Amino acid sequence: MTIYLDYQSSTPVDPRVRAVMMEVMEQDFANPSSESHSAGWSARARVEEARATIARAVGCAADEIVFTSGATEADNIGVLGAAMGAPEGRRRILIGATEHKAVLESAFAAQRLGFAVELLPVDRNGMIELAHLQSKLGSDVAVVSVMWVNNEIGTIQQLEPIVRESAAFGAFVHTDATQAPAALPIDLTELGVDAASFSSHKIYGPKGVGALYLSAASPWRPKPLLFGGGQEQGLRPGTLPTPLCVGFAEAFSIMASEGSVERARVQSLRDELAKTLQGLLPEVQKTIEDVPQHPGTLHIRVDGINADDLLSRLQPHLAASTGSACTSGRPHNSHVLEALGLSSDNAASGLRLSLGRFTTREEINETASILRAAFALLRPTQ
């Protein structure tokens, strides 16, 4: 059996989530937008209950949650849609250099509409340099978007000063919070962002559904990118997938009630894996040190060993991810690792091991042995 250590890419559906989704598919299959019969009313009630549950989990009002097809769509609305809704004179977008492609490409798409995009540099641990942000802020900035918890290296960004400084200049502040629920408690009202993106399949819910938090106090509303029947306050039209919304809400509810215990357990396993690996293989380097990190993320490197070659050696025994991305069939080093200042060769050695709810101690011990054997086969000849 494959040991699954790619939780930051996607999580398995929790059995409790699957059970509630099956119930909804059997009982409340009607279109929640159908207003002329009780079956539609029942489905709509399920959706609104799910919306309220998610709102409670993240600390906001129910009408501040907009369902989407996933975090990618939410990021597009929160960045491109927000830029399109900005007042005249605000034509600049500031985004972190280590953002997810959904944020990067949304911002670059805005360039075709006359916006200028500027990347905010990070230090060697992936933290935004606040002084640089301050030097870039002005009354002409439309959107500032900085990821809360990095999906590749696990860095937890200190968002509060970023939000405070950006809001002081009237900018619309968005965060990709996709990885945040599994990493830390969430209170969006206290955080003060104008928009935040979430994804169900990162928190043990189904794929195909996500949410955009849109603060009632935001300086302006994003423009819609899709058009249709006017659902979701006209911001995201289309028939809502009732079972997916309910499953998403159940996953959020479980995370809200059990998250603190789960995070402590996962971090303990992560730290044990790191210690074991470095004991067996002294040349293993942790990419991130001395900053808050996602409790389930261990990003490592062994100089001279290509991570793609390593992963091929690990199949089918271990599921993990490299720091590489593939665009149009052409391999490229991770933009995240290069933003940290790593050389091309060092970036190519990056391997992300991400643990989660169903990871066991036995799997941790076996993972260390599997990696040791694979490294031995690939270790450069002395």
* Residues contacting residue 154 through CB under 8 Å, at least 6 positions apart: 8, 179, 183, 288, 293, 294, 296, 297, 298, 299, 354
Can you give the pLDDT at residue 377? 85
pLDDT > 90 in the chain, percent: 91
Question: pTM of the predicted model, to two decimals?
Answer: 0.95
Residue 246 banded pLDDT, cuts 50, 70, 90: very high
The mean pLDDT of 347-356, rounded to a whole number, is 95
Query: Lowest-pLDDT range, 99-103, 271-275, 342-346?
Result: 342-346
Residue 376 banded pLDDT, cuts 50, 70, 90: confident
Can you give the pLDDT at residue 323? 58
Please choose, from the candidates 258, 265, 261, the residue with its C-alpha nearest in 3D space to the C-alpha of residue 364: 265
Can you give the pLDDT at residue 327? 41
Query: Lowest-pLDDT range, 52-66, 73-87, 243-257, 337-351?
Result: 337-351
Q: Where is pLDDT greater, at 85 or 381? A: 85
Can you give the pLDDT at residue 180? 98
| Residue 78: both structure tokens together | 């929160």
Judge residue 170's burial from the number of C-beta atoms within 10 Å of its C-beta, 0-12 exposed, 13-18 middle, 19 or more buried. Answer: middle
* Residues contacting residue 36 through CB under 8 Å, at least 6 positions apart: none
Residue 381 banded pLDDT, cuts 50, 70, 90: low
Can you give the pLDDT at residue 81? 98
CA dist., res. 280 & res. 379, Å (int): 14
- Per residue in 146-192, pLDDT tens? 999 999 999 999 999 999 999 999 999 999 999 999 999 999 999 99
Please provide the distance, in angstroms rounded to a whole number, between the alpha carbons at the two ends of the chain: 34
Can you give the pLDDT at residue 380? 60
pLDDT beyond 50 at 326: no
- Per residue in 80-121, pLDDT tens? 999 999 999 999 999 999 999 999 999 999 999 999 999 999
- Per residue in 16-62, pLDDT tens? 999 999 999 999 999 999 999 999 999 999 999 999 999 999 999 99
Q: Using an 8 Å Cβ cutoff, are 293 and 266 in contact?
A: no
Tell me, what amino acid is at 230? Answer: G
R_g over Cα of the chain:
21
- The H-or-E segment that residue 244 falls in is helix 242-280
Task: Give the domains, in start order, of the chain with CATH numbers.
Answer: 3-9+259-378 (3.90.1150.10), 15-253 (3.40.640.10)
Can you give the pLDDT at residue 382? 45
CA dist., res. 245 & res. 217, Å (int): 25
The mean pLDDT of 219-244, rounded to a whole number, is 95
Q: Where is pLDDT greater, at 277 or 378? A: 277
| Per-chain mean pLDDT for the chain | 94
Can you give the pLDDT at residue 302? 87
pLDDT beyond 50 at 332: yes
Can you give the pLDDT at residue 331? 60
Catalytic residues: 326
The mean pLDDT of 281-309, rounded to a whole number, is 93
CA dist., res. 64 & res. 188, Å (int): 11
